[in-house]
Amino acid sequence: MIYDKGKIFLGLAIFLALVASPFWYNPVFGTGKTAPPEVKLPAKEKGDCVLPKAEMRSSHMQVIYDWRETVVRGGGRSVVLPDHREMKMSLSNTCLGCHDNKKEFCDACHGYLAVKPFCWDCHFNPKEQV
Amino acid sequence: MGTGEGKGMDRRGFLKLAGLGALGAAALPAGWSLVKPGEALAALGGTVAGGVVAGRRWAMVVDLRKECPAGCRDCIAACNTTHNVPTFSDEAEPKRHEIKWIWQAHFYSAFTGIEQTHGREDLEKREVTVLCNHCENPPCVRVCPTKATYRRPDGIVMMDFHRCIGCRFCMAGCPYGSRSFNWRDPAAGLPAKMTNPEYPRRMRGVVEKCTFCSERLDAGKQPACVEVCKEKLLIFGDVANPASPVRELLKEHYTIRRKPNLGTDPQVYYIV
């Protein structure tokens, strides 16, 4: 026998509904605008990026991390890719040299995914500087 | 107890499962472990060009035979603009949050332990240019808990600002005061437009110091301070090479170093 059965089960139902809100809020009240942002590629395509587009999309952070370790820890400043292109390993100068619109390229996706890379605490976009 | 017939797991069963779990964890594919530097590049099939040349030993000679022209701070200004070193001039105490890579210090605060009652009076009154000594046996590297500062094979005591956790052990370890801590956000001490957009700035809570312009050396240039000195009082080179200008100067002149009795083997030499 439970005293105040109605109140308790009502309270439990409200509690569960609130806890589960992340699952139902968007389908019920969402505006439906959940499409991922369009990433603007540089206007003038200067050939391939470091890796093919799909791989770049999935593992650019690994490439950047790798470049960082290689450059800062004294392993070298430029890399020769298998297709004999030589590239300076530099976020501000090489990456942003082509992808000159940081807001529409980097920030569009990072903002959508709520990723906060701390690159920009120190490195900056030379195009925005000048 | 422990018969294994109850609801729970007995000791023996638990140990068996734990052992299996440990085996499984050990057999996880390499993708699950942290990727070491260079691994992703190697996976691309790319090769890295340039980098530290083993067998070199970078060092600097500061010529004190000639005095710096009055008021000349060209080397300091060049360094600060090249590396986006912040200046906080609004402070009542100008040295409070000072960030310095290369600076001027009084002769007797730079060279301790050689004080004598009667000596070179002209030197005694002098300010001398001091910077990180890029010691052969750097105490800052010994105390750094994250290897954010480390000695490269070519002798440069480097800073990896990404790894610095701001513990300031290195500042306690360095007997030359060559390291500065960013108590304030360095962006506040820099102009809105970076003087050198090609070089990053630092963030708050990071220690910084002279890196012998490793980025310029890799590009085949001399350090910024050496290049800009009109009087040619700073000479930079490879002391491992017997024919280098630095070695020639060291052979010809008597030089002193800062606090050599501490055993750090500093690599900035002063011609007196």
Lowest mean pLDDT among A20-29, A59-68, B5-14: B5-14
Backbone angles phi, psi at A62, to 5 degrees: -70, -40
pTM of the model: 0.78
How many beta-carbon contacts under 8 Å exist across A and B?
98
| CATH classification of the domain holding B175 | 3.30.70.20
Over residues B162-183, the pLDDT tens digits come to 999 999 999 999 999 999 999 9
Q: Name which of B246, B49, B171, B66 is nearest A88 in CA terms.
A: B49
Number of domains in chain B: 1
Show the 3-state SS of chain A: CCCCHHHHHHHHHHHHHHHCHHHHHHHHHCCCCCCCCCCCCCCCCCCCCCCCHHHHHHHHHHHHHHHHHHHHCCCCCEEECCCCCEEECCHHHHHHHHCCCHHHHHHHHHHHCCCCCHHHHCCCCHHHHC
Q: What distance in Å separates residue B96's CA from the closest CA in chain A?
A: 22
Assess: ipTM above 0.95. Answer: no
pLDDT band per the 50, 70, 90 thresholds, residue B22: confident
Q: pLDDT over 70 for what percent of chain A?
A: 92
Share of chain B above pLDDT 70, in %: 88
A78 in contact with B at a CB cutoff of 8 Å? yes
Q: By CA distance, what is B84's nearest residue in A?
A: A122
Q: Is the pLDDT of residue B30 over 50?
A: no
Count CB neighbours of B178 within 10 A: 26
**Which amino acid is it at B54?**
A
Cα torsion at B157, B159, B163, B165 (round to 10°)? Answer: 100
As a whole number, the mean pLDDT across chain A is: 85
Contact B191, B150 (CB under 8 A): no
pLDDT of residue B222: 94
Q: Per-residue pLDDT averaged across B220-236, rounded?
A: 94
Give domain limits for chain A. Answer: 53-129
Q: Which residue among B40, B45, B52 sits closest to A74, beta carbon to beta carbon?
A: B52
Give the range of the structural domain holding residue B92, as residue numbers without chain letter. Answer: 58-112+119-271
Residue B34 lies in a domain: no
Any domain includes B148: yes
What is the model's pLDDT at position A100?
81
Strands annotated E in chain B: 47-49, 58-63, 102-106, 127-131, 149-151, 157-159, 180-181, 207-208, 234-238, 255-256, 268-271
Distance from the A40 Cα atom to the nearest Cα atom in chain B, whole angstroms: 23
In a domain, B38, yes or no: no
Q: Which of B48, B161, B200 sits opposite A75 (nearest CB)?
A: B48
CA-to-CA distance for B215 and B221, rounded, in angstroms?
9
Whether residue B51 lies within 8 A of chain A, CB to CB, comes out as: yes
Query: Where does the pLDDT of residue B12 fall: very low under 50, low under 70, confident under 90, or very high at 90 and above?
Result: confident
Is B44–A123 a contact, with Cβ atoms under 8 angstroms apart?
Answer: no
Q: Note whether B35 contacts A62, CB cutoff 8 Å.
A: yes
